[in-house]
Amino acid sequence: KAGVTQTPRYLIKTRGQQVTLSCSPISGHRSVSWYQQTPGQGLQFLFEYFSETQRNKGNFPGRFSGRQFSNSRSEMNVSTLELGDSALYLCASSLAGYLSEEQFFGPGTRLTVL
Amino acid sequence: KQEVTQIPAALSVPEGENLVLNCSFTDSAIYNLQWFRQDPGKGLTSLLLIQSSQREQTSGRLNASLDKSSGRSTLYIAASQPGDSATYLCAAYAGGTSYGKLTFGQGTILTVHP
């Protein structure tokens, strides 16, 4: 069974640009969550999607947005990039996201903003 | 607001030692607690998931315990090996409407030297 996949693995952007990251969950998983990991703040929750609906959102500015498609694949978008957005972005999938379920993480996308 | 703390922040041990990593959380109303391993620059690998109704879980040389009343979880690693060197993270899940949201500790960096 294939794990969670994320593309691209590495990105370099400049301030002011926008970026789109993609996450494909484990087959059959319908919940996808996104996290930002930085050395200073650790792992912080961005948002969660289930059946194309955002059910939960963390404390991030509106520049961070996401969506989920009917096949459960998810994308997150960051507009007007800032230097502080440089981070490892991780997505996780689970069956439904609210039961006593294990979450499985992808390898992450390393975003560098210059 | 749930806060998760991990002690120690770093640990260096010789190969073969048994060791304990500690995780504490402020809100005992958790649904489950999950332990992860992260290798440098990589995603998270799930190690053990403990449901709120359980006291412990075991997988190979790993044993995790959960004491909700005291707000603590421990990860016990038996007969440590150099390949165990990584960052270990614990994460609490509140359940309910906190869809998909794990609250992470800052991690314990483990180094096992030959």
Q: Taking all residues of chain A, what is their mean pLDDT, rounded to a whole number?
A: 95
Q: Which amino acid is at B102?
A: L
For residue B32, give the nearest of A31, A88, A100 by CB distance.
A100
- Per mean pLDDT, which range of A48-57, A96-105, B4-13, B100-109 is the poorest? A96-105
Mark yes or no for CB contact B49/A102 under 8 Å: yes
For residue A20, give the nearest of A89, A105, A92, A70 by alpha carbon.
A89
Higher per-residue pLDDT: B94 or A67: A67
Query: What is the distance, to the nearest Å, from the Cα of residue B24 to the centroid of all Cα atoms in its chain?
Result: 10
Mark yes or no for CB contact A33/B100 under 8 Å: yes
Chain A residues whose beta carbon lies within 8 Å of the beta carbon of residue B91: 43
The two tokens of residue B20 are: 């304990």
Hey, is the C-beta of B12 within 8 angstroms of any chain A C-beta? no
Q: What pLDDT does residue A99 have?
A: 66
Average of per-residue pLDDT across B10-16: 97
Q: Provide the total of helices (H) and of strands (E) in chain B, helices listed first.
A: 0, 11
Chain B residues whose beta carbon lies within 8 Å of the beta carbon of residue A31: 99-100
Hey, is the C-beta of A40 within 8 angstroms of any chain B C-beta? no
Q: Are A108 and A37 in contact (CB under 8 A)?
A: yes
Report pLDDT digits (tens) over B31-86: 899 999 999 989 999 999 999 999 999 999 999 999 999 999 999 999 999 999 99
What's B79's DSSP letter? S
Chain A residues whose beta carbon lies within 8 Å of the beta carbon of residue B107: 42
Distances (CA, A) of A92 to A6, A95, A114, B43, B56: 10, 11, 27, 10, 24
Chain A residues whose beta carbon lies within 8 Å of the beta carbon of residue B96: 98
Mark yes or no for CB contact B43/A55 under 8 Å: no
Hey, is the C-beta of B91 within 8 angstroms of any chain A C-beta? yes
Mark yes or no for CB contact A103/B97 under 8 Å: no
Hey, is the C-beta of B43 within 8 angstroms of any chain A C-beta? yes
Residues 6 or more apart in contact with residue B109 via CB below 8 angstroms: B9, B10, B11, B87
Q: What pLDDT does residue A1 have?
A: 67
Give the count of Cβ contacts less than 8 A between chain A and B: 75
Mark yes or no for CB contact B104/A98 under 8 Å: no
